[in-house]
Amino acid sequence: MIVIIGNGIASERALSELFKKERGDVTLIKGEPYGPYPRPRLPEYVKGSVSRSLFTEDKLTKYAEKGLNVIASNATSIDVRNKSVTLSDKKEISYDALIIATGSRARNLSLPTDGLVPHTLRTLSDADEIIATCENKKNPVVVGAGLLGLELASAIKEKCGSRVSVIESAEHLLPRQLDEKSSLFFEKLLKEKGIDIIKGSAPKAYGKDSVLLEDGRDISCDALFESVGVIPDIEIAKNTGIATERAIIIDSHAMTSVKDVYAVGDAASYSGLCPGLVYFALETARVAAINADGGAEELKLMAPSAVIEVSGIPAYSIGDIRTHSDVKIHENGNRYEALYLDGEKRLVGSVAVGSRANMLKAQKMLKKEVDLSLLDF
């Protein structure tokens, strides 16, 4: 029996791999009432551009017909010695192989407040709450200008029909994906679309109708949202003997420190890498499913990359954009591109804002000598 805990993108990928063959010995323990559903598309739902049914559609019946056993409950503990999982109703489920796909939850700043309560976006019910909160609001503020923060800001701007302010404690937005120049360029385009970035100071407290920053600025606000990172949901692995750091440590077979127990997606950490992104969830889940079923597959992770789209502005960041000897910049109207080269003129990373025309070519060029004539400017 293979048991999977969690019903997000990673467990969906694991199921599709396991059910390539006919089999009837898989159990899925699902904590959320819906799902699996495409979590990255929640901002589009907030915006109103996709319907709720995209998230509530039943993706499990086709597997249930092939023998999948679905249990709608929370797993509360794992006994690795007896190879069993306990559910919230105390029922025990035995496994031969276990896949932990519990994902992550939104981090909160937990600041003192005089009235404003921040909302976070992680689940469909969070999205429903945010939609209700946006009604008749004209001064929305999002804390955090990372990938999710900007997507959320764009969705809220559409929903409220007003400008939106985004507070970022770092000196520039998308600090994980962009460098200073490309982020300033992105910021300029976002401003034109109604998204104002307030940088360089973190919120200190929330008032009745404003956000107080550490540097003393007071930002008017009638609806507050936080997007300040995620915390891997790994409580279930604690005190079991399964080694953890920020998330559950896995090896190149997606196996944890305990034999026959695998971890995938946002709940897993491989060689210190715990990106909280879809590409990592899909690959760790593919490998865990094959190996839980007796295979010997290894992770094949691509160079870190981020495909970005905020308010219709396309962008990307691939490879290493921090360590380089030379940079080639191309700027033209609403388009900015930078290619980062090592001492041997090989491409180590690239960012672009305003266009993704060169993304696939740049990806193929990584670690090779740059040939500008192949790129489209």
Q: Provide the binding-site residues for ligand FAD, judged by CB under 6 A.
A: 5-11, 29-32, 35, 39-40, 42-43, 74-75, 101-104, 121-122, 148, 151, 233, 236, 265-267, 276-278, 281
Name the β-bridge partners of 331. 336
Residue 251, token pair as written in the block:
């090896």
Q: How far is the CB of 98 from ligand FAD (least distance, A)?
A: 12
User: Could you give the count of Cα atoms lying within 13 Å of 125 in the half-sphere of its Cβ?
Assistant: 4
| H or E segment to which residue 182 belongs | helix 180-192
Residue 344, token pair as written in the block:
């041997």
Question: Which of residues 105 and 330 has its CB atom nearest to ligand FAD in the complex?
Answer: 105
Residue owning tokens 């559609």: 57
Residue owning tokens 């739902």: 45
Q: How far is the CB of 329 from ligand FAD (least distance, A)?
A: 26
Name the β-bridge partners of 269. 249
Q: How far is the CB of 119 from ligand FAD (least distance, A)?
A: 12
Question: Which of residues 276 and 349 has its CB atom nearest to ligand FAD in the complex?
Answer: 276
Q: How far is the CB of 100 from ligand FAD (least distance, A)?
A: 9
The three-state (H, E, C) secondary structure of 106-150, written as one string: ECCCCCCECCCCCECCCCHHHHHHHHHHHCCCCCEEEECCCHHHH
Q: How far is the CB of 205 from ligand FAD (least distance, A)?
A: 26
Question: What is the rounded distance in angstroms from the CA atom of residue 176 to the CA atom of residue 150?
Answer: 13
Residue owning tokens 């010695």: 81
Give the dihedral of Cα atoms 241, 245, 251, 255; nearest 10 deg: 40
Q: Among candidates 234, 238, 236, 240, which has minimal Cα distance to 82? A: 240
Q: Among candidates 234, 312, 308, 313, which has minimal Cα distance to 267? A: 234
Residue 64, token pair as written in the block:
């249930």
| H or E segment to which residue 362 belongs | helix 359-365
Question: Which of residues 42 and 341 has its CB atom nearest to ligand FAD in the complex?
Answer: 42
Question: Which of residues 210 and 227 has its CB atom nearest to ligand FAD in the complex?
Answer: 227
Q: How far is the CB of 127 from ligand FAD (least distance, A)?
A: 8
Question: Which of residues 278 and 338 has its CB atom nearest to ligand FAD in the complex?
Answer: 278
Question: Which of residues 302 and 360 has its CB atom nearest to ligand FAD in the complex?
Answer: 302
Question: Which of residues 101 and 190 has its CB atom nearest to ligand FAD in the complex?
Answer: 101
Q: How far is the CB of 334 from ligand FAD (least distance, A)?
A: 22
Q: How far is the CB of 217 from ligand FAD (least distance, A)?
A: 27
Question: Which of residues 42 and 213 has its CB atom nearest to ligand FAD in the complex?
Answer: 42
